[in-house]
Structures are given as structure tokens and as C-alpha cells.
Structure 1
Amino acid sequence: MRGSRMARALGRMPRDRVLLLLAALIGAGLLLRIYFLLVWSPAITGYSDSGIYFDGAIGPLSRLWSDPIRVVGYSMFLRLLHGIAPHLIFVITVQHLLGLGAALLFFLAVRRCGGPRGLGLAPAAIIALGGDELFIEHAALSDALFVFLLSAVLYCALRAFQGGAAWAALAGLCAGLGVWDREAGLAMIVVVALWLCFSAGRPTRRTLAVGALCLAVSLASVGAYAGWRHLASGKPGVLTSNSAWNLYGRVAPWADCTKFTPPPGTRALCETTPVSRRRNPTPASSKLRPSEYYIYDSESPAYRLFGPAYLVSDRPHAMRILRKWSEAALLGQPLDYLDAVWLDTIRLFDPNHPSYGDLSADEMVALMLGGVPPNSGRNAFVEFWQQRLYPHDSRPHRGDIAPLKEWERITRVDGSWMGLLLALCLAGPWLLSGRARSGMLLFGCSALALLFFPILVKGYDYRFVIAAFGPLLAGGALAAWGLVARVKAKPVATRLLGRAGRTST
């Protein structure tokens, strides 16, 4: 009996166009990833962040907490995989498989929202085939793991809306683990918990209970991380020791101490150079001085006062002092802060537009492949830690990456595509109803949180935009279906009204 059912299911497969298209997407994505592994192996290691993650994955567990400015979930991930196979190419292979898994989860998540089954192909396509996703999966960075956890959070949340407590707890766990990997995951904890509470419209006892359970598990997961960190390292702070640096990087480029009163002991953080004359230190640069300069450059006022951001300062209460100065600048110059946020928002559509943010898409790819110094093709800092963590790896292979770079450029989500998708997500609540509307709100709010949380607290970086592509395409696909359905229904309603008018006369 069971064999006959399977045979009938397999017999239907050739007639199911949606499943065939999904299989084609996953198959094409797999081929692209195999090609990437053959052309550039074992990994992309131009970002200095990779070296920091490698450092945290070496030796005793006490080294895990050595980085004071980043959460260390990705180093834990590297340690776990190192115990299975001590080779970097194994990590990258797993990340590529996680990317394909994320594509499948987004497809399944959209299917649970109602509407045509093919709508889920949109987010699945951008993750399975998108060049940016391919590049972050091939890099020794935290992004690929974060995208997978994000897809799991959204899928489990939609199951919790229809299924119950176990799925809500799983959504909360994945959201909490997302914070272990990237602090931007904090925004998703809030979004998912609130969405579960209001997923049925007005909150009910059931939706409030499901939302509260999800939030409780998320906070418990984050609390477990913070408690483990405190017991193992004894370092200050909750998630990181140097969390105040990000807010400082957000406000320092435009902070003018003549427009606010610096708190006591912070006058050394003030710059005498007018904001209009603060430029990148590179020769003949016309770009605005970015947040990364203030966080990492040795000429930064905070660097000179407190030491580098990648070390815990010897000065007592350094982060409290830095945070107070940053908050004073923000409160004293709210219009300048909004202007900085606006400049970064423009970069969602035009990544090369001047702002105080960090890397554009082109600059991100150049750094990934070109390393430090720029265009050198290597990063000595990363290579040092890579050789210590993976001493038995063969020499890197660097083939012709040009076709993949061109594919990345073609498949970017910016410009008019970004504008269209954001417009659809904003209009979606008025175009849809029922399950589809609720699901679109989850995807749309997630995309907005992932796009704007980094901009609000640190600054634009194209690398941080990529995680939003999946929910953005998912919400946009649902909203577009709602728009098409309304347009198709309008002539029918017009004809019915016309008939009613003729009958009444």
C-alpha cells in the first residue's frame, strides 16, 4: 500500500511545474556552488573578520571570547565543524548546503501563507542563485549561517501561527541563536514575538501565549550566551565588551561639540576639523569619512583615548564614557542623525551614493577578493590564523573569478528592484487579507528590520543588506500576487455594478 502511494506521488512529479521549477533552481544553485569551489578554493578570506573568527576557534575554550567587539557564535560554528573535519573547504561546503537549505525553507514558508504555490520560488531563487548569497557563503564570515537561521526563524514562526507551542519555541531558539551569530539578530527577536502576538489580527490568549513563549525562549538563549561568556571570560558587557564602539561610529563622523555639551571627561573625543572637511584619509579622496574610520583607524579620537576597538580598554568605564558622549551627540544633533540615516537609506537604492556608511557592493567584492592592502590578493592577518587553524590544508587555488563577479553584479537587489520590492511590502497590508496578509507582514517587517537596524545603530554596509533579500522577495511576491488579484477582480466588479445599474433603471 505504501509503495503504491509513493509510486503515485512520483508519477505526479513530472506534472507539477512548481516542484520542477524548484528542483531546477536548487540544481542550478548546486552547480553554481560547485563551480565556485572549483574556481576559488578553499574560501574567500579577504575580510579581516575571518582571521578574528579563526582566532576564536583555536585552542582552549577560553580563547573563544577573545574578540571584545563581536559575538562569537560563528567561531563556535567553526569549532564544531573543525571537530568533524579540520579543513576550511569543509566549512565552505557546509555553508553552501545551508544556503540551499535556506532557499527551501523560504519556499516552504511562503507556501504556508496561501496563494499560488509558485510564489515561494521568488525568495528561493534569490538565495539559491543570487550572486551576493554565493559570495557570502563562500567566505569565512558569519553571514551564511545567519541567513540560514533567519530562514528557520521565519518558517517556524509561520508554523507556530498554525501549529502550536513547539514551533513557537523552535522559532525562539533559532532567533536567539541568530544573536549568538550576529547582534543584528536582536531585531528579529522583537519582530517575530510581536508578529506572533498580532498574527491573527487582534491579540488572543492563544497568540499572546505563543508570542510570549517565543520571546521567552529567545531571551533564554541570549541569556545563556551572556551567562556562559561572563563565567568563562569574566569580561565586562553583556554580549560584547566594546558594544559602545558601534554607536560611536554612527555619530562621530558628523558630531560637532559646538552643538551639544560633551559629558565630563569626554572633551578629547571632540574634533576641531569641521564636518564639511572630514574626508577619507586616502589621497585625493572626496568621500565622506565613514564610521569604520572612527572605530578602527589609529587617528580616530576614541582610538587615541581608549585604545583600539579590538582590545578591552585599560581605562576604567571606557565604554560607559564613550556611550554617554555618543548619546549626547545624538540627542544634541537629532537632525544631523536623521540626515546621516537618510544618506544611508539612499544607498539601499544606489550603493555608491556618498554617506557616512561603509562598503558599497563593488567595494565589498573588491575587499573579499583583493584583501588587505587593497588589490594585494591576500590578507596576511587572516592567513596567519588560517594556517594555525587549518595547518593541513593544501595551497589556495585562485582561478578566473570574473564570471562569478559579473553574475554577482547582474543579480544584485538594488536600484529600481529595491524600490519596487519595498513599495510592494509597504502596500501589501492593503492588497492582501487573511493568512497571506499576515505572512506578508512577517516577511515585510523582517526585511525592514534587517535593512534599517544596522543603519540606525552603526551605518550602511552592503554586506548587512544581503540578509534582507530573502524576506524582501517573499513579502514582495505575496504583495504582487495581491495586486494582480485586485486588478483582475476590478473589471468583474465593474461589470456587476453596471448590470445592477441597468436593472434598477
Structure 2
Amino acid sequence: MKPRPLPALYRSIGRPAGRYAAAHLLFAAVLAGAVAVRIMAARGYPSLLWGGDSYGYLDAANKFRPHIGRPSGYSVFLAALGPFEDFRAVVFAQAALGVAAGAMVYALVWRAARRAWPRWIWLPGLLAAPASVPMLYDGNLIQAEHMMLADSLFTFLLVAAVTVVLWGERTPWWAGAVAGLLTSFAALTRLAGLPLLGLIVLAMLLRRPGWRRAVASVAAAVVMFAVPFGAYMNWFSGHWGGFALTKADKVWLYGRTVDFADCAKLNPPPELIVMCPKPASDPRIAPAFRALWTQDSPFTYIPGGIYGDEGNQKAGEFADLAIKKQFGDYVGVIVRDTLRAFESGREPYPTPWTEENTRFPAGEAWSDDQQLLAEKYGAHGRGTVVEPHAAWIRGYHDRWFTPGPALAGLLVVGLAGVLIRLRPRSGFGGAVLLPWSMAAALVVIPAATADFDYRYLPPAVPFACLAAVLALIPGAARTRPAAAAPAVPADEPADDEPDESDESDESGKKVSL
């Protein structure tokens, strides 16, 4: 007796779906492992860890007002999770953001590889799964998810913005609007995101969508970037006066310039002499930190202190003078601190205790101020260390992270991918340009505008890895007239079915990208 044929529904849907599910098995295993690591971290450290800026973030969230010295997008995030009255909810949310960012890296690489090799259904996963590993397993990124700091939210928003821009071969206006909105939220979370809008706009202009489409996408991105900024600045004005993001926007650049400023060369006016750097009372402390947060700070002698209008004005005037008259020295400290990011080891910089904030602690440390501020979160407001799970995640963090030389190697590979695509037909860098420029900017911007800090490096890792892997994927699989495509059997998935992402090359043929 002949076996009955498979139902048509299974042949048309079930079998292709099964093949696609099997093609993602490697990533499923990677994802499961990443979730398991985060579960261990949460069991060892069930509450949030505190850093230097945590008090300000939580205070702004509890009072629901903008912080006077830095953008408070992260405080709004904390306030949104406030009804749970449990810091474990924040730990869970930030871990979920990290996993989601890793999944987006995987999806971008898998989609690009699938277009390049449409017949090789297993190959995209073999490239995309390793590309997601740094985002999903880097101990520094996992530790940042446990900190009451803006870094994990900032990283997720930027990865989401890049995903929206690179998802299709063209960026329609609505995608530009979403990318602009996500970048705006990132900039309101950390000021380092502010110049990144330029990279988003450049990427959309270089994707060859036609000038009308490009102008529409860029205009939508700029408008949606500006709307949250306008709303935030209006909110800030209602609390602190002045239509601004902070009252310390010039203070951070001043801190950068004290690393090289020499008042014997600058000859500052009398009102700025107070801003001249003083001899170090503690050589272990970096000049920028010393000038802002210690007894050596000039702001202790200025009415209003570091967040006062007079201090901000004098800081800006001194920074402008120092950069203009010692521009070579300014470039020198940027290069020095950028290269510091690629060293194999870590020194205690900018201070011994701030570098410790980038690690899982071995014990509990709790102050009365922290206790009062976090009392609404009950037992889980206090940072706790639960052994032996905490020891396991500390050991994991010591072994599994992206070292400086590896980050440098990823950037070199990505840069090579950009350079070989520097022609109009490849979009002047293609899909590699945006993630590579994001990674490079996230390394350089802190060194140019504030000071080097190891906690500023992990957000660059997923973009560096994404650029390096995309550099290995050709921009087009092959060129072939649509009519020459072979027939696809009914029981096989239509791998080469043309879609809206196909676009014509200069010869008029269809190119599946």
C-alpha cells in the first residue's frame, strides 16, 4: 500500500518553516547561554549596583525632575519602572535590553548574509551567531546591566537605531523617523549620543535611495530627533530656568582641557585665573576628575559651584581659550586616551575607586544617603551579594570580556571593509560604514569631550563586531536577469524570490543584495 502524500499545507509551509528554524539553531543555543549567564548574575546580585552617578539618577527619578548637571533620560526610565518598587525589575529590564540588542545584531548580519548567499541557508547563521556573542556574553556589558547607570539603555537605543537604518536596502521616511527618535532618546540618556545623529543622517544619504527619498528620510529623522529634545528642554526650563539640557554643558570640556592647559602659555584674563589647574594633591587621580570633584576644584571658589551659571560660563571660556592656544596639546590627549582603549591591561583610571565600579563587587557597601534614597524599594533597594553565585559571575567577568587589542582588531577589519567599498556603487562604505563609525565615535567622543573612562568602552563593542562581520559579506550575491531564474520546486522555499530590496545596477540587471 502506497504511503499517502504529505498534505499540501505541510509542503508549502511546514517544511520551509522547519528549515528556517533549523538554520537558527546555533543562535538559539547562543541565546539560551546568554540568558543563563544573566540568571546567574541576577542570583548573585539581585539588586542594582551603585556607581558615581547613580545617586543623581535615582534622585531625579524619585522627584521626577531633570537632573541639573546631565540629561535625565535614564531617570525617566527608572521612574517608568518605579511602580514595581523593586530594583530587581530594573535588573530584569536592563538584562532584557542587552539580550534584545544581541538579537538585533544577529538579525542584521543574518539578513545581510542571506541576501548575499540566498542558496546557503545554513551559512548566514554561522556568521551571524558569532557576531552576536560579544553583545550577549561580554562581561563588561553584563556588569553594566547591573549598574544604576545609563550605559545599558544607551547601548540598546543606539543598536536599535542602527538596526532600523540598515534593515532594508533603502531607508523609507518612516524608518528615518524611528531612527531619529531612537537616537534622540539615546542622546537624552547620555550626551555622547548627540553627535551620532550626524552618522545616522550620513548613512541614509549614502544608501542611494534617490534624492527625494533621501531628503524625506533625513527630514523625518531630524524632526523626530528634535521633538523629544524640545520637550525635554522645556521640562528642564520649568524646573531650573533656561531652555537647555543641563547647567553644566561646558564643565565637562573644561575638565578635558585641564589635562594639558598651561596658564603660562594661555595668559588668561584675570577673571579666569581661578580656573587654572592646580598642582595635584593626589597623583592617583586624573586631572579632569581632580578639577571637577575634589578639593582642588576651582568650582569650590565660585558662587553656585559646579552647577552654577557663573561656573559653567567660566569653564566654557577657559576651555575655548585652552583649545585655541594649545590645539596640538588638545589633539595629543585625545590620541593618548583613544589609544588607551586598546591596551591589554587596565590601570586604575581616572581614580582607583571609579575603576572598581566597572566590576562586580566582592562585598556590600551601603551609605546612609543611599539607604534613604532607596527606601521605597524595600529589601531589594539595598545592594546585596549572594554567594556562591556572585563568585561565579565575578570569575566569569574576569575571563570573558572584549580586551582592548581585540576591540582594535575588530575596528581594523571594519575599516578595511569600509575602504574597499569606498565607491558610489557600494554606497561609499555600504552597510559597514554606519556601525564602524558608531564604534569609532563611541571610543573617541569621551576622550575628546570629557575624559577617558573604562565604562565608556563597552557600548562600542557591538558596533565594532557588527562592522567587522558585515565587512566579510559581499554587497551583492550575483547579477542575473530575473527571467533566467530557475524554477523552484513546490516543496522548497522560494529563496530567490525578488522583493522590494532588489535594486538595479548600472547595467539595468537585477542585483539581489
Q: What TM-score range do you get, normalising by the shorter chain?
A: 0.7 to 0.9
Per-residue deviation, 1:470: 0.7
Partner in structure 1 of residue 409 of structure 2: 420
Amino acid in the other structure paired with 2:154: F
Amino acid in the other structure paired with 2:318: W
Amino acid in the other structure paired with 1:334: F
Partner in structure 2 of residue 150 of structure 1: 158
Alignment counterpart, residue 300 of structure 1, candidates 292, 297, 301:
297
Partner in structure 2 of residue 100 of structure 1: 99
* Mapped partners of 2:300, 2:47: distance in 1: 35
Per-residue deviation, 1:476: 0.9
* Mapped partners of 2:382, 2:256: distance in 1: 39
Q: Deviations over 1:94-150 (max 9, x none)?
A: 111111111111222233444452333244211111111110111111111111111
* Mapped partners of 2:381, 2:211: distance in 1: 58
Greater Cα shift, 209-218 or 397-406:
397-406
* Mapped partners of 2:383, 2:95: distance in 1: 18
- Give the match's secondary structure for 2:33: helix
Partner in structure 1 of residue 432 of structure 2: 440
Partner in structure 1 of residue 76 of structure 2: 76
Greater Cα shift, 152-161 or 98-107:
152-161
Per-residue deviation, 1:395: 5.7
Quick check: 1:153–1:174 contact (8 Å CA) kept in 2? Answer: yes
Quick check: 2:234–2:243 contact (8 Å CA) kept in 1? Answer: no
* Mapped partners of 1:266, 1:413: distance in 2: 42
Alignment counterpart, residue 210 of structure 1, candidates 217, 225, 239:
217
Per-residue deviation, 1:467: 0.6
Per-residue deviation, 1:218: 0.9
* Mapped partners of 1:8, 1:78: distance in 2: 45
* Mapped partners of 2:233, 2:13: distance in 1: 48
* Mapped partners of 1:327, 1:53: distance in 2: 29
Judging by fraction of residues, say which structure has more helix.
Answer: 1
Per-residue deviation, 1:342: 1.9
Check 1:303–1:30 CA distance in 2 against 1; reply closer, same or farther (3 A cut): same
Q: Deviations over 1:436-484 (max 9, x none)?
A: 941100111111111111111011111111111111000011224569x
Identity %: 24
Amino acid in the other structure paired with 1:259: K
- Give the match's secondary structure for 1:265: helix
Amino acid in the other structure paired with 2:418: P
Alignment counterpart, residue 135 of structure 2, candidates 113, 127, 139:
127
* Mapped partners of 2:326, 2:272: distance in 1: 17
Partner in structure 1 of residue 480 of structure 2: none
Q: Deviations over 1:53-110 (max 9, x none)?
A: 1111114x3xx22x22111111111111112x11100111011111111111122223
Partner in structure 1 of residue 311 of structure 2: 318
Check 1:123–1:182 CA distance in 2 against 1; reply closer, same or farther (3 A cut): farther
Partner in structure 2 of residue 269 of structure 1: 275
Amino acid in the other structure paired with 1:245: V
Partner in structure 1 of residue 176 of structure 2: 168
Partner in structure 1 of residue 367 of structure 2: 380
Amino acid in the other structure paired with 1:107: Y
Alignment counterpart, residue 37 of structure 2, candidates 9, 32, 35:
32
1:452 aligned onto 2:459: no
Partner in structure 2 of residue 491 of structure 1: none
Amino acid in the other structure paired with 1:49: D
**Within 5 Å, which residues of 2 pair with 1:471-482?**
471-481=463-473
Amino acid in the other structure paired with 2:27: L
Quick check: 2:358–2:455 contact (8 Å CA) kept in 1? Answer: no
**Within 5 Å, which residues of 2 pair with 1:42-53?**
42-45=47-50, 47-53=51-57
Amino acid in the other structure paired with 1:80: A
Check 1:44–1:392 CA distance in 2 against 1; reply closer, same or farther (3 A cut): closer
Amino acid in the other structure paired with 1:95: Q
1:22 aligned onto 2:30: no
Partner in structure 1 of residue 495 of structure 2: none
Per-residue deviation, 1:228: 2.3
Per-residue deviation, 1:173: 0.6
Partner in structure 2 of residue 497 of structure 1: none
Alignment counterpart, residue 249 of structure 1, candidates 255, 258, 282:
255
Q: Deviations over 1:181-239 (max 9, x none)?
A: 111111221110121112229x7332232122212211222222212221x31433611
Quick check: 2:286–2:351 contact (8 Å CA) kept in 1? Answer: no
Amino acid in the other structure paired with 1:455: A
* Mapped partners of 1:260, 1:290: distance in 2: 18
1:364 aligned onto 2:355: yes
* Mapped partners of 1:411, 1:359: distance in 2: 24
| Superposition TM-score, scaled by structure 1 size | 0.82
Amino acid in the other structure paired with 1:240: T
Check 1:24–1:308 CA distance in 2 against 1; reply closer, same or farther (3 A cut): farther
RMSD of the TM alignment (CA)? 2.9
- Give the match's secondary structure for 1:181: coil
Quick check: 1:33–1:134 contact (8 Å CA) kept in 2? Answer: yes
- Give the match's secondary structure for 1:57: helix
* Mapped partners of 2:21, 2:358: distance in 1: 44
Paired residues, number: 455
Amino acid in the other structure paired with 1:364: E
Amino acid in the other structure paired with 2:370: E
Quick check: 2:286–2:350 contact (8 Å CA) kept in 1? Answer: no
Amino acid in the other structure paired with 1:397: T
Check 1:134–1:2 CA distance in 2 against 1; reply closer, same or farther (3 A cut): farther
Give structure 1 stretches of 5+ with no counterpart.
486-505
Check 1:435–1:245 CA distance in 2 against 1; reply closer, same or farther (3 A cut): same
* Mapped partners of 2:266, 2:228: distance in 1: 39
Check 1:424–1:52 CA distance in 2 against 1; reply closer, same or farther (3 A cut): same
Give structure 2 stretches of 5+ with no counterpart.
1-7, 117-122, 478-513
Check 1:25–1:317 CA distance in 2 against 1; reply closer, same or farther (3 A cut): same
